Amino acid sequence: MKKLSLLTLLIISVFISCSEDDAPAPSPTVFEESDLVGKWQLTGIEENGVALVLSECEKKDLSNFSISENGENVASFVENIEDNETCTEFISNIYNWTLTTGNVLTTTFGSADTDTQTIIELTDTTLKLQSQDIEIVDGLPVTIIDVEAYRYVGEPEIPEDNTVINEADLIGKWKITSITENETEFSDACDQLNTIDFKENGQADFVVYTKTTAGECTQDRSSTISWSLSGNTIVYGTGEETETITELTDTTLKIQYTEVDGNDQFIIVTTYTKQ
């Protein structure tokens, strides 16, 4: 009887094991757009499984995802940059976003700025976004996987986008009056001679001055490059360089772009006056 009992248990065990193996894999979680709507505050970033050290300033970064009354998915981002122990807030332009098969989140601004991430966790309180990039290290490609973690902090706050750019308003010659880097002025008298001339034929003429060893300003170079307007983004050439218009009046033009140097980011704002 004992042998029979053991045999019976063995058969049952094998049957259960086979049943578990034959069971279909659970369906992956599919997130809805409405699940993402909200204001999310950055809490941490991992790079290839290693947690990065974030400053208290960086932990103030926010991502806002909303669905407008007309059904348009809109987003804005608040980036905080620390310089000389001062934490400065920068609010992005208004982006559009989509959530597609595989929980892939794509944010776009015009045709020049697109970012793709995968939602790997989304609850009432937590959001985790994963992205992948290839970097060249010592001549070899290395896969970098970043995971950004956020916590839900309330309803989204999307600023009104009042910057409506008409291409005709941009046409003409503009001269630099100011250049700031993270809100610190760094232009000199020679920089303030530089001009850009937007032509109706889709070409832009640049004239750049530099300071000689004698301290005099002299024309360093001039160049012409094609340009186009996508929303309030100026796209130069085939898209290798873009700048965002943050202000445009009959007399004033402000253009902004971001430079990245290692872990440091610099917001460059150039102000022009119409000639």
Q: pLDDT band for position 12 (50/70/90)?
A: very low
The pLDDT confidence band at residue 9, using thresholds 50, 70 and 90, is very low
pLDDT for 16 equals 52
Banded pLDDT at 58 (limits 50, 70, 90): very high
Residues 48, 150 within the same domain? yes
Q: Domain check: are 94 and 200 in the same one?
A: no
Host domain of residue 262 = 167-274
What are the contacts of 224-227 at 24+ separation with CB within 8 A?
226/202, 227/198, 227/202, 227/203
146-172: per-residue pLDDT in tens?
999 999 999 998 766 545 678 889 999
Give the residue with greater pLDDT, 233 vs 27. Answer: 233
Q: Are residues 149 and 193 in the same domain?
A: no
Average pLDDT over residues 21-43: 84
pLDDT in tens, 186-202: 899 999 999 999 999 99
Residue 214's contacts (CB-CB under 8 Å, 6 or more residues apart) are none
Boundary of a domain, candidates 154, 181, 206: 154
The tokens for 140 are 């070899």
Give a yes or no: residue 246 inside a domain. Answer: yes
**Both tokens of residue 26?**
């659970």
Mean residue pLDDT across the chain: 86
- Give the confidence band of 23 by pLDDT, cuts at 50, 70, 90: low
Please say whether the dihedral angle defined by the alpha carbons of residues 209, 245, 254 and 63, taken in this order, is positive or negative. negative
**Widest Cα–Cα separation across the chain:** 108
Q: Which of 113, 131, 154 is the last residue of a domain?
A: 154
According to the model, what pLDDT value does residue 161 have?
54
What does residue 34 show for φ and ψ, rounded to 5 degrees? Answer: -65, -25
Tell me the three-class secondary structure of 208-245, residue by residue.
EEEECCCCCEEEEEEEEEEEEEECCEEEECCCCEEEEE
Reported as a single tens digit per residue, the pLDDT across 73-83 is: 999 899 988 87
DSSP-assigned beta bridge partners for residue 128: 121, 149
For the entire predicted model, the pTM comes to 0.60
Residues 39 and 142 in one domain: yes
